[in-house]
Amino acid sequence: MNLHIKGCRLIDFRSLNDAQKRLVLEWRNHDAVRTCMLSQKIISYEEHMLYLESLWHMKDKLCYLVQKQNRGIGVIEFGNITKESAQIGLSKNPHIKGVGNLLMSLIESVACEKLHLQELQLEVLERNKHALHLYEKWGYSVTSNQEHLICMEKKLCC
């Protein structure tokens, strides 16, 4: 299900065209993105395609390529989706700056308006200071800190 929110087009990973699939993989493997991921290994095209195919069978996961004015600006993800909560993730196009707030705004809009969630959780590497600052600015609070992995959550007021 593709969405249009806040002047952006959110393209469900299950409906990406070939160029978009390659773009998402390129971003994921870019050093600036990959080094902020829990799994920092380079993903092969075949692994990426298997992951995209697996999304058709996952009822508790949604991933979107975000475009603004027909330009890809990032990816937002919802995992472990229940009636009340989901785990979120985001990554931005490594070639542009200043889209973190927009991606967070889109995450919360989808969470409230489409998924009707009450809480969001996330995990972030302790060394990812930019992301930590962004999440704190958006009202996420630390729930645990284990071996350089910080868990955060936010109660939503939808």
pLDDT digits (tens, 9 = 90+) for 73-120: 999 999 999 999 999 999 999 999 999 999 999 999 999 999 999 999
The pLDDT confidence band at residue 146, using thresholds 50, 70 and 90, is confident
| Residue 145 belongs to a domain | no
Range 53-71 burial, b when 16+ CB lie within 10 A, else e: eeeeeeeebbbbbbbbeee
CA 87/CA 81 separation, integer angstroms: 7
Q: Whole-model pTM above 0.75? A: yes
Q: State the CB neighbour count (10 A cutoff) for residue 141.
A: 10
| Residue 153 belongs to a domain | no
pLDDT mean across residues, the chain: 95
The number of folded domains in the chain is: 1
| Residue 152 belongs to a domain | no
| Residue 60 belongs to a domain | yes
- Provide mean pLDDT across the span 45-74: 96
pLDDT digits (tens, 9 = 90+) for 9-31: 999 999 999 999 999 999 999 99
Q: Look up residue 37 and give its amino acid.
A: M
| Residue 157 belongs to a domain | no
Is the separation of the CB atoms in 131 and 147 below 8 Å? no
Does residue 1 surpass a pLDDT of 90?
Answer: no
| Residue 143 belongs to a domain | no
Residue 108: give the domain boundaries: 3-116
Q: Quick one: pLDDT at residue 28? A: 95
| Residue 139 belongs to a domain | no
| Residue 33 belongs to a domain | yes
Question: Where residue 33 sits, what CATH number does that domain have?
Answer: 3.40.630.30
Does residue 132 surpass a pLDDT of 90?
Answer: yes
